[in-house]
Structure 1
């Protein structure tokens, strides 16, 4: 199925999707060229990312905050988006302020901290400015794998016949990029944790324009890796080759909030094993994800086991409930998320900056953390009992402010992305009609079809814009009255079944189904409205009396 989506990755305000035919699509904010379309324009619908090699097929994708990576079936790595933050221009500052205006104060502080304190770059794996389109990471072609010994690499260097390096996995963090090669070696570049050059053993973050190997895992196989803003977590084989239940968890980098899970807040320059998951522990780790300053791991019982079940463990910063422990406290060591239903088997885990989500084998989704576990919701207007962060898992579908459905409003329930992109569908339909004669004008015919499709797309976008405005108005009105955004299940029954709306009957039904707290809130809302109307009427009447009095007063003189 060529149009089937096989992978999705999300950045700060953009999304990538990988289709079964190896094409990469993007949508959302285009600032810094993160969409890879050749411009910095925003996209409300999925658009295909154009690579220099038109025949290139991607097999994996990764999204950082403002940059992206794509792995080709040949083992080559392509990158695009944000690459440097050393030079500031007036244009950059103005544009950034407008971008940040819709973000929370927490995120703004986080972003400005990255830009103003770190001054790091190189997450694209090359020197230079931001890239508006995918660029081949040529430096990988010049490198041998650290899966070899240092002596072997030096020997190959002398012979000028280095081992062909093939990448099989890519990951991206805030300003950092990672890759695992076919020999199980780990590479990193961008804003990388390094030992301070003064030799005191302290941690610093340096710009790495060229991928550097992590030699600590030589003789072992790195199976999976994840990174946050300042820390890295790797799942590594206990022996030379990966076998069942033998993965060991290592962490290193910044640890100011305990995100390394080592029982303290001391930074680590070199990888260190998480003591909780030692060889004697009955659970083994199989998945890992990182938020800005927290970490989540999935474990299952070691084989042989009578039951197929798993558990989610989290640690690090917990101020927004992102650990799911029922509190907002920080955890320095891994602790289980106890309120997930048991028994259950979790197939994946992922973290936003300040929230965490898991998916079960049955397709159920749980999320917790910032804004009811929905992540960064700059336009959300939660009030009353619906407001605040989720400090425990909530069974939800998810939410994204950059949905790819052609709308510019937030959606509080799962929304279908307009997939696949419509223009490609129209073109495919043209090709699949055998009786259709070929236009002798060749490119002129293609141009005419492109113009027709463009007009159709513009008309559809106009309709989508009108619909978005109407939905936004309805949601704001609904929020004002009922204290929560409008959702599909709030559509009155009579309107769903017959297409007509009996407002009196539906109003009576809503009053009957509302509990006391909702009724009290509605009463206060209408009291305030009525008071406002009465006040306005009084002012209007006073103005009318004055107007009536002034002419008569003037005539009397």
Structure 2
């Protein structure tokens, strides 16, 4: 029989990362899956096709020997870290965020070096020496070998932390400029941040053009109580938390009593949106219960700071409307929204379009539309408010993904176009929907493995036939899903036109429950009877506007007809 432990490991999600419109997940057995928008090769599947549910990323002919232990997603590119310290990159590369020049793609499919549709090995780390390398070390002892142990990405830049605690950056990176003092420079070669020489970088996050890092006060890492927060880069909205809006080409300490080494608070997680930053802290003093505080700063135009206003903040301020007696295990930022999850499975989101991150023109309308200026509690489903045994949350530009149930189940919500939600559909979802995980083909693979172990040719033949039928079924399923998405969009448009609000599952007409035919006249009458005065007034305004539009169109056509009649009469007279 197939090892049950190995089976669980292959479907257990241990990490998730979200880009602008794509998502990566990492399983316990070291495999990477991706889905969402495929343009610019960000999915790593060998093409630019969209994927509506998780598909495994292959790492060339060396797939069997490559075990991935870390993943990261920038806006349009992706990173994967192997257990041997090697870094694999794919996607958009115009600013050097893959760390590879056009001539270094080694036959991989790409377009003028601008992007790669398959993972490419970043060889340049093998040619470099770590910043802590010392010339005083005897050659007989050899130099400490460089090994990357963590990767991160954001916007158009990539970052890595090595085994000596040094931070490396490549892509569209903030740099010191002689003329301007600060600029963003395209860098195709990983470059160390020398400012942290003699210290250990423990964690890093980056937005569109700024970076935040947690660095040890001394040389070695002794725990989160010993960490200092640094920030640098673009500071046009105060996203560096330094009390002003001046850009910083080099790291500076976020100087607040709350984050000093002598402070009672310790920072244990950082996240960056496009132009805002979020931190999680806990008390250093031992306590019977762990409690967290979420701090945010930077751009606040869409409520992404969660402070109850649309004002930007130049210094870290706590998100006061979050409960004080919870421990937050994960936080992430989209472009203009923020999301946190507690150890108990409570999830809060805030920012653009009710914390979904959707743009205003994507608004689902109604009285509930608009930006969430304070945290909103997100329920797993109407019958289960909490997400069971949460692991991690990740935010894309306008979608959110949460891994829960100890890594065996995923939910997503927000923008659905291009299959971004991984549920097989292309429609936006304003409440959590389950990601199609594990993929259907995984069950087949285990069956195939079981058959091969038994060396039974007849069973192997059956497996091949089953695979062919499954492949055919999957193609048909994709076609049906596409048709269903079109019908759902059409139904939503019709429902909005008739009832003045978006369509939801709760709006399925009673006449459709036991029949394929809906008596729309009866449903309209029932809706009017059940509507309160406020809703009736809104409906009246809606249809008055529609009627006005029709009258305007009739008037314009009538005027055009009169003009044509006059012109014809004048021609006859002449």
TM-score (norm. length: structure 2):
0.79
Inter-partner Cα distance in structure 1 for 2:287 and 2:180: 43
Inter-partner Cα distance in structure 2 for 1:497 and 1:356: 42
Bigger Cα displacement from structure 2, 487-496 vs 203-212: 487-496
Distance 1:164 1:522, change over 3 A: same
Inter-partner Cα distance in structure 2 for 1:514 and 1:75: 62
Equivalent position of 1:425 in the other structure: 443
Distance 1:537 1:214, change over 3 A: closer
Maintained 8 Å contact 1:63/1:172: yes
1:231 to partner: Cα distance:
0.7
Inter-partner Cα distance in structure 2 for 1:195 and 1:533: 60
Inter-partner Cα distance in structure 2 for 1:338 and 1:497: 48
Equivalent position of 1:143 in the other structure: 128
Equivalent position of 1:112 in the other structure: none
Are 1:348 and 2:330 matched, yes or no? yes
Equivalent position of 2:272 in the other structure: 290
1:131 to partner: Cα distance:
1.1
Equivalent position of 2:394 in the other structure: none
Are 1:221 and 2:200 matched, yes or no? yes
Equivalent position of 2:496 in the other structure: 479
Are 1:231 and 2:248 matched, yes or no? no
Distance 1:206 1:532, change over 3 A: closer
Distance 1:385 1:241, change over 3 A: same
1:310 to partner: Cα distance:
0.9
1:292 to partner: Cα distance:
0.9
- Cα deviations across residues 289-345 of structure 1 (Å, max 9, x unaligned)? 001111011111122345421111111111111111111111111111111122222
Q: 2:254 aligns with which of 271, 274, 280?
A: 274
Inter-partner Cα distance in structure 2 for 1:212 and 1:45: 36
Instruction: State how 1:170-189 maps to structure 2 within 5 Å.
Output: 170-189=151-170
- Cα deviations across residues 81-116 of structure 1 (Å, max 9, x unaligned)? 1111xxxxxxxxxxxxxxxxxxxxxxxxxxxxxxxx
1:424 to partner: Cα distance:
3.2
Maintained 8 Å contact 1:379/1:410: no
Inter-partner Cα distance in structure 1 for 2:288 and 2:435: 40
Distance 1:484 1:273, change over 3 A: farther
What RMSD, in angstroms, separates the aligned Cα atoms of the two structures? 3.2
Inter-partner Cα distance in structure 2 for 1:348 and 1:341: 15
Maintained 8 Å contact 2:358/2:414: no
Equivalent position of 1:455 in the other structure: 472
Inter-partner Cα distance in structure 2 for 1:252 and 1:539: 59
Equivalent position of 1:105 in the other structure: none
Q: 1:438 aligns with which of 449, 457, 462?
A: 457
Inter-partner Cα distance in structure 2 for 1:526 and 1:436: 70
Inter-partner Cα distance in structure 2 for 1:345 and 1:15: 26
1:522 to partner: Cα distance:
2.5
Maintained 8 Å contact 1:481/1:525: no
Inter-partner Cα distance in structure 2 for 1:66 and 1:221: 29
Equivalent position of 2:20 in the other structure: 12
Inter-partner Cα distance in structure 2 for 1:268 and 1:539: 59
Are 1:62 and 2:72 matched, yes or no? yes
Maintained 8 Å contact 1:386/1:484: no
Equivalent position of 1:122 in the other structure: 96
Maintained 8 Å contact 2:353/2:360: no
Bigger Cα displacement from structure 2, 332-341 vs 499-508: 499-508
SS at match of 2:434: coil
Inter-partner Cα distance in structure 2 for 1:235 and 1:450: 49
Bigger Cα displacement from structure 2, 314-323 vs 418-427: 418-427
Query: How many positions carry a matched residue from both structures?
Result: 497
Structure 1 unaligned spans of 5+: 85-120, 541-557
Maintained 8 Å contact 2:154/2:207: yes
Distance 1:164 1:149, change over 3 A: closer
Higher relative contact order (CA 8 A, sep 6+): 2
